[in-house]
Amino acid sequence: MVRIRLRRVGLKKQASYRIVVTDKRSPRDGRYIEIIGFYNPRTQPETVEYKEERALHWLSVGASPTEAVEKFFKRNGTYDRLARLHKGESMEVLVAEAEAAAAAAEPISPKTKYPAPLKSKAKQQQEAAVATAVVEAPVAVAEAEVEEAQEEAQEEEVVEEVVEETTEEE
């Protein structure tokens, strides 16, 4: 059986890892079929890079990832693209999408390797209400100005009608 797993490289107490495709029976740092990426846990934030096209290829032919590699694939959306590949979408489109997503991804703050905590639902609703109020306020002012202009126009028409009626009577 073929596995996608981490292979330890680097100096003593300075580990970094390669993401490799290997036979299940080979040792951790033994023979491998192909290197598809690397993982460096010592950087802030930790670095994970791999060839999306090769990962999709090996997953599509039945290679199973280890738990650690599976987390990387889920975090980067490789499993979602694999499902779309099985449905018939082309590999080129999926790889281009993965590259665009990687380029657009915001780096995690260097002070911490974890992203900021999610906001509570109440806080999100409050921010949405404030944003809506900010957007609607100028609209309400503009609508009030339009109504005033329409009322003035109607008053002018009434005044003109009264003036015309009085001039006709004389």
Q: How far apart are CA 49 and CA 36, in angstroms?
A: 9
Confidence (pTM): 0.58
22 band by pLDDT with thresholds 50, 70 and 90: very high
pLDDT computed for residue 148 by the predictor: 80
Tokens coding 167 = 């001039």
Q: Are 4 and 18 in contact (CB under 8 A)?
A: no
pLDDT digits (tens, 9 = 90+) for 32-49: 999 999 999 998 888 888
140 band by pLDDT with thresholds 50, 70 and 90: low
pLDDT digits (tens, 9 = 90+) for 75-113: 888 888 888 888 888 888 888 888 887 777 655 544 455
pLDDT computed for residue 98 by the predictor: 80
- Strand 2-11's sheet: what is its strand order? 47-50, 34-40, 14-23, 2-11, 64-65
- CA angle 4/6/9 to nearest 5° reads 145
Domain positions in the chain are: 2-104, 118-170
pLDDT computed for residue 44 by the predictor: 85
Average pLDDT over residues 15-38: 91
Helix (H) or strand (E) holding 101: helix 91-104
Q: Does domain 2-104 have CATH number 3.30.1320.10?
A: yes
- CA angle 128/133/138 to nearest 5° reads 140
Backbone angles phi, psi at 15, to 5 degrees: -75, 145
Displacement of CA 23 from its chain's centroid (Å): 34
Q: How far apart are CA 82 and CA 56, in angstroms?
A: 6
Q: How far apart are CA 54 and CA 32, in angstroms?
A: 14
pLDDT computed for residue 139 by the predictor: 60
**Sign of torsion over alpha carbons 56, 102, 41, 34:** positive
What percent of the chain clears pLDDT 70, i.e. is strictly above it?
75
Tell me: pLDDT of 21 over 90: yes
Q: Are 16 and 46 in contact (CB under 8 A)?
A: no
pLDDT top residue among 150 and 64: 64
